[in-house]
Structure 1
Amino acid sequence: MLGDVPGPGVPATGASVPGAPIPVPAVPDRPARLAPYGLRCEHRTEPMGLGAPAPLLSWRLASRQAGDDPVAYQVDVTDLTRPGTSVWSTGRVEDAASVGVRYAGPALRPRTRYGWHVTVWAQDGTRGSAESWFETGHDTWTASWITHDPSRVEPVDPPTRGEQALDDHGLLACPRLRHAFSAPVPARARLYVSARGLYEARLNGERVGDAELAPGWTDYRSRIQYQVYDVTALVRDGENVLAATVADGWWSGFVGFAPRRAGQHYGPFPEFVAELHLSYDDGSTRVVATGPAWRTARGPIRYADLLKGECHDARLETPGWDRPGFDDSAWLPATVAGDDHSSLVASRDEPVRAFERLAPRSVTRLAPGVHLVDFGQNIAGRVRLAVPALPEGRRVSVRHGETLEGPTPHGDPRIGDRLHIANLRTADATDVFISAGRAEVFEPRFTYHGFRYAEVTGLDELGDVHAVVLHSDIPWAGRFACSDPDITRLHANIGWGQRGNFVSVPTDCPQRDERLGWLADAQVFLPTACLNADVAAFFAKWLDDVSDAQSPEGGFSNVAPLLTGVADEGAPGWADAGVLVPWHLYRVYGDPAFLDVEAMARWVGFVHRNNPDLIWRHRVGPHFADWLSPGPPTPRPLIGTAYFQRSAALTARAARVVGRDGDADHLDALAAGIRQAFVKEFVDAGGRVAGDTQTGYLLALAFDLLPEEAVAPAADRLAELVAASGLQTGFLGVSLLCPVLSAHGHDDLAHALLGRTGPPSWLHQVRSGATTVWERWDGVGAPSMNSFNHYALGSVGEWLYSGVAGIGQAPTSTAYRELVVRPSPGDLDWAEASYESVRGTVGVRWERSPEGFRLDATIPPGATATVHLPGGTTRRVTSGDHSFTLVRGETA
């Protein structure tokens, strides 16, 4: 069971229409004159527990007045715990391009709230301002890691006569921990908390915060994030109780591929650590910390696992366990598991939260006591189910699946339909509730599933039931729509796939026994992800996971966080994400902190040492090629060498950004040498690329690997292949296909691919009823490798924004300082998109009519844009709203 604690965005207590477009915040109203808004600290809004010693303070700009551009800014930081205390000021800085500055004042004190104020000046001397705050994290821990000694966990009570035995998968019950203490009401109270496993903290019977699956997934051998909560309002005068339930989660549950045993990757049993800091007006403080004085007992959750599911036995409830006055004399003393806090780090991202609830699209009674629920949308999350008063011991199970068995796996459910679960492999994805004889609401707390359908067994009549959407809190930033409803639906499907797979890490799929942070999936989808949502903090955290997984020799892993038994390093296009992802984040968000040039250079050096002739022939790890390509195979050495050159070239550019010109010169020379070797090995005099595959040409053209005279013939050959065979790319080629065709004068082919409805195509999935993007183009394949929520092939979303609608960034621009508006109408009548960039709102809408063509563009303050109109006309514009109209037949 779970209390109603809605997260930001659409509240979890509200029901949404199944299959509706993703709810996004409204575009903010622009002020009459230049003003900052959307203030961020380390890419987060008002973060609690900030760990960065020199945080980036950034803002966006808005104005309804055209050309109202900034010329200067000033940032002032104050200590809010010491009213009137100024900490640092930039003074007025003359900089027309900046939308952020790194704190450069005295060392920030731990556990302190700071206010900051930004003022921007316009060209005419007017100014606007805004303010925000951040709170620093914990520095010195005194709490112990505590646990319920696994050897002392009481066995689950045997089933009563006639009750079916419970398959607990070898998992242990989730322990509860509690500690009673007396204290007067403080002026300020903060809870610093984490777990090896998952936790839900409670104070005086109230749930603390709204984080789900906290503290999230990292390589716990290197880092464990902690969270900070303001609990001032929950502390009462006199006796108080701080309590928690902990579960296995990624720490000690089933993670990744099976057959694996629970606990093999990190640890055998969950542990908990917490410090409650109470501050008083007289300057005194008190710390309530986890330690041997805590008490623990088995809770009513008989097991909870991310892959297997959760079982809640309401007969084992002990009402009041988390409140004052409860008798815990029968509970055991907590076991101290250690005092090593070296792995504890402040959270860099926002947690997973519960967002909207989806009401059922349909409910079908399959048999007595068995109902099939279609929620109309494939999501990552859980089911919330009202359970009436049932006989004590009656079990209600909820089994989850993405599709149905039968000839139309996404059709309306029919009598006799059953969940298709073969693609889940060993992920049981089943939650169980055991009744205590009273009406309750069952909503699991320590698991999640990828599903559209749920089969509910054990209820004669199905009452209130909803699907609760879970994902990392990534503020939605993009909108797209066009005159073709199928393409608009495709964009929504791409967004739902992103939400369902951005759960603490960017996973490949949310349903089966995998759910790993595959690097290639992330790097090909990143341009789309950045336009859909503000993912700066999310990927800043994940880049730490990527760094933790890098080998001493410099090899980036293929998944992050790294797991035992998973192909660990070196696949071209996968490990190269350690370079491609930070570079793209830098270009989008303008923050050089994304660029770990040392790690990037170590990867390039690692590949070079293993391939001194500059052709990636020698495998330094697995090679996945152009994964799941429906076309002929692209030569693996070609793919590897193309990515080798790309990583060397981008690392050189990153080195220049951070002032390492000597390293950049060396890397530029290496990249030039790889390019020459690539041409000699793979390109003939007529511009044909070895293998003659779409992905081979795409890599050569997109990565600028061809001599000038070979570019046009290669692009023409690519167009011939596309015209002859349609879409023939896999994970590595798909993100490049439409952008490369458009860049080389083949918009018509790009639109033909986009509009295709037969397999393989994006709209084949949409026409087949998909509500997310599939792993395989046609949805057909081995059941064990057939996910229906896999975002990699959805990387065409970037082209929907930049190609169809026309929102792009100039090649040399960062942080959307120089925009390119170049719509590609194809056969569409209209398209529109908007994007909340780090500089402000960018918007484009165009429409064709019998009278002509009209384009409207919104450019944020401080940015400029080159607008490309049909017929080859271009216009240079500054900030503001701009409209362009071409009368039919007019080209200039």
Structure 2
Amino acid sequence: MGNSIHYNTDNYALYRKLVFDLIDSQDPKGFVPDIAPEFVRFGGGFLDSPEWGSSAVILPWQLYNWYGDKDILEKAYPMMTKYVAYLESKSDNHILNYGTGDWFDYGPRQPGEAQLTPKALTATAIYYYDVLLLSKMSSILNKTADAALYTKQALAVKQAFNGKFLNATTNVYSTGSQTAMAMPLSVGLVDNSIKAAVLKNLTDSIALHNYALTAGDIGFHFLIDALDKGEQSRIIYAMNNRDDVPGYGYQLKKGATALTESWPALTNVSNNHLMLGHIMEWFYSGLAGIGQEEGSVGFKQLKIRPQPVGDITNASGTFHTPYGWISTNWKIQNNNFFLTVTIPTNSSANVYLPVKSGQAVYINGKKQSLYIDETAIIKCGSGKYLIEVK
């Protein structure tokens, strides 16, 4: 839920406080419990599940990525290294196989622990992501020896993961579930040479199953991320713009006024739960098109990539970055595309436009000389721009 919450709320102080809660809650063995502060001691997967304990690594990275807080990386570094060492000690040839898995995925049984995706897949994928992030954070902190060590470890986990879960003939991961296919795509476990094939298998499978949601609270974020990055917003739209199968519209039709723990809003589980709200991140990054480029910190280098889909003819969004407010507002009118975008001071943006062959691009009324294929990329400094595709 981190990305969805971040787009709506300045959560810097809250998340920084949570990092210290995680540090305080870390067990002497090295694991971080699923719940921190741990007022009640839970057991089983509720005590130690890699998909939840990995907050110990992911939260400090998010604070750095979103707000440029390098200090929190220093503060959290001992916790992060100890947690990754713990995961390594629990692995068997770099494969982890314990925890609750893709919590509350939508399968044939009462929701709870993962039904459609092996626990080993989600646990090992998040383990790889932890090690990969730790290699990046080590480098940022100029811990070059550690960075090299974690880069090597990440590669070993990646090779083990693909050796166990990837069918090299069909380019399908494990059971082929939404989570099984999306997590490797999202965290970087899929080699570039087969990335397009794996993404196509994912989207084809979703279409074959009538665009129904099945990914759970772990997998749904990665599904949204993989489809968004893969320029498949039409699939996200088709899966969520409906009320005939369990999902957001279905919950609303049943009278839900808050996020529910289960996709079908079952009455015997929580119906006021901070869970499964990951669509919000796509409202901003995909629909409104507000994000930052890979490698950017604190939204210094913005990525403006609005994605018109379905019968949506206009959308707008605002987001307060460390440099100030960014806003986008687009509409489609008479087959023309109009985008107004405001870039804050001391930042810049790459604006990705939906352009077809033969169309012309105008910025503040001036026609641009561009080589047009399927996407035009406009580089903008701070300021306000009216961009038209005619």
What is the TM-score of this pair, normalised by structure 2? Answer: 0.88
SS in 2 for 1:772: coil
RMSD of aligned C-alpha atoms?
A: 1.4
Verify: 1:660 aligned to 2:140, yes or no: no
| Cα offset, 1:723, TM superposition | 1.1
Q: Which residue of 2 aligns with 1:807?
A: 290
Out of 371, 382, 386, which is 1:879 matched to?
382
What amino acid is aligned across from residue 718 of structure 1 in structure 2? L
Q: Which residue of 1 aligns with 2:162?
A: 679
| Cα offset, 1:562, TM superposition | 1.1
Out of 248, 260, 280, which is 1:762 matched to?
248
Runs of 4 or more, structure 1, over 6 Å off, are none
Kept in 2, the 8 Å contact 1:550–1:556? The answer is yes
Q: Which residue of 2 aligns with 1:825?
A: 308
Verify: 1:848 aligned to 2:332, yes or no: yes
Q: Which residue of 2 aligns with 1:120?
A: none
Q: Which residue of 2 aligns with 1:752?
A: 238
Verify: 1:635 aligned to 2:118, yes or no: yes
Distance 2:313 2:287 in 1: 11
Distance 2:314 2:253 in 1: 21
SS in 1 for 2:51: coil
Q: Which residue of 2 aligns with 1:609?
A: 89
Verify: 1:738 aligned to 2:227, yes or no: no
Out of 583, 590, 597, which is 2:77 matched to?
597
Verify: 1:554 aligned to 2:37, yes or no: no
What amino acid is aligned across from residue 665 of structure 1 in structure 2? A
Deviations 1:386-437 (A, max 9, x none): xxxxxxxxxxxxxxxxxxxxxxxxxxxxxxxxxxxxxxxxxxxxxxxxxxxx
Distance 1:780 1:738 in 2: 23
Aligned pairs for 1:121-520 (under 5 A) are none
Distance 1:818 1:594 in 2: 22
Out of 575, 581, 595, which is 2:59 matched to?
581
Aligned pairs for 1:110-121 (under 5 A) are none
What amino acid is aligned across from residue 154 of structure 2 in structure 1? A
| Cα offset, 1:612, TM superposition | 4.7
| Cα offset, 1:753, TM superposition | 1.3
SS in 2 for 1:574: helix
Verify: 1:695 aligned to 2:198, yes or no: no
Distance 2:233 2:10 in 1: 29
SS in 2 for 1:614: coil
Distance 1:763 1:818 in 2: 35
Q: Which residue of 2 aligns with 1:724?
A: 208
Aligned pairs for 1:772-787 (under 5 A) are 772-781=258-267, 783=268, 786-787=269-270
What amino acid is aligned across from residue 610 of structure 1 in structure 2? K
Alpha-carbon spacing, 1:867–1:680, altered in 2? closer, same or farther (3 Å): same
Distance 2:223 2:265 in 1: 20
Kept in 1, the 8 Å contact 2:94–2:157? The answer is yes
| Cα offset, 1:802, TM superposition | 0.5
Kept in 1, the 8 Å contact 2:171–2:198? The answer is yes
Verify: 1:534 aligned to 2:10, yes or no: yes
| Cα offset, 1:850, TM superposition | 1.4
| Cα offset, 1:788, TM superposition | 1.7
Distance 1:574 1:741 in 2: 23
Out of 650, 659, 679, which is 2:133 matched to?
650
Distance 1:588 1:580 in 2: 12
| Cα offset, 1:741, TM superposition | 1.4
Distance 1:564 1:879 in 2: 49
Q: Which residue of 1 aligns with 2:363?
A: none
Deviations 1:364-402 (A, max 9, x none): xxxxxxxxxxxxxxxxxxxxxxxxxxxxxxxxxxxxxxx
| Unaligned stretches of 5+ residues in structure 1 | 1-524, 888-892
Kept in 2, the 8 Å contact 1:694–1:729? The answer is yes
SS in 1 for 2:256: coil
| Cα offset, 1:851, TM superposition | 4.9
| Cα offset, 1:807, TM superposition | 0.2
Distance 2:213 2:183 in 1: 15
Distance 2:244 2:72 in 1: 40
% of aligned pairs identical?
A: 27
Distance 2:343 2:47 in 1: 42
Kept in 2, the 8 Å contact 1:739–1:803? The answer is no
Distance 1:593 1:557 in 2: 24
What amino acid is aligned across from residue 832 of structure 1 in structure 2? S
| Cα offset, 1:775, TM superposition | 0.9
| Cα offset, 1:656, TM superposition | 1.3
What amino acid is aligned across from residue 532 of structure 1 in structure 2? N
SS in 1 for 2:303: strand
Distance 1:731 1:533 in 2: 21
What amino acid is aligned across from residue 606 of structure 1 in structure 2? Y
Distance 2:40 2:4 in 1: 30
Out of 263, 278, 281, which is 1:798 matched to?
281
Distance 1:835 1:745 in 2: 22
Deviations 1:628-683 (A, max 9, x none): 11135201111111011000000111111122111111111100100011011110
| Cα offset, 1:758, TM superposition | 1.8
What amino acid is aligned across from residue 663 of structure 1 in structure 2? D
SS in 2 for 1:832: strand
What amino acid is aligned across from residue 800 of structure 1 in structure 2? F
Distance 1:861 1:739 in 2: 28
| Cα offset, 1:708, TM superposition | 2.1
| Unaligned stretches of 5+ residues in structure 2 | 108-114, 356-374
Deviations 1:342-368 (A, max 9, x none): xxxxxxxxxxxxxxxxxxxxxxxxxxx
Structure (1 or 2) with the greater helix fraction: 2
Q: Which residue of 1 aligns with 2:371?
A: none
Deviations 1:185-233 (A, max 9, x none): xxxxxxxxxxxxxxxxxxxxxxxxxxxxxxxxxxxxxxxxxxxxxxxxx
Distance 1:659 1:742 in 2: 32
SS in 2 for 1:873: strand
Out of 141, 152, 172, which is 1:669 matched to?
152
Distance 1:612 1:733 in 2: 23
SS in 1 for 2:20: helix
What is the TM-score of this pair, normalised by structure 1? Answer: 0.39
| Cα offset, 1:716, TM superposition | 1.0
Distance 2:335 2:173 in 1: 44
SS in 1 for 2:339: strand
SS in 1 for 2:342: strand
Kept in 1, the 8 Å contact 2:256–2:265? The answer is no
Deviations 1:789-826 (A, max 9, x none): 21221121111100011001111001000000001110
Kept in 2, the 8 Å contact 1:555–1:569? The answer is no
Kept in 2, the 8 Å contact 1:867–1:874? The answer is yes
| Cα offset, 1:565, TM superposition | 2.9
Distance 1:792 1:610 in 2: 28
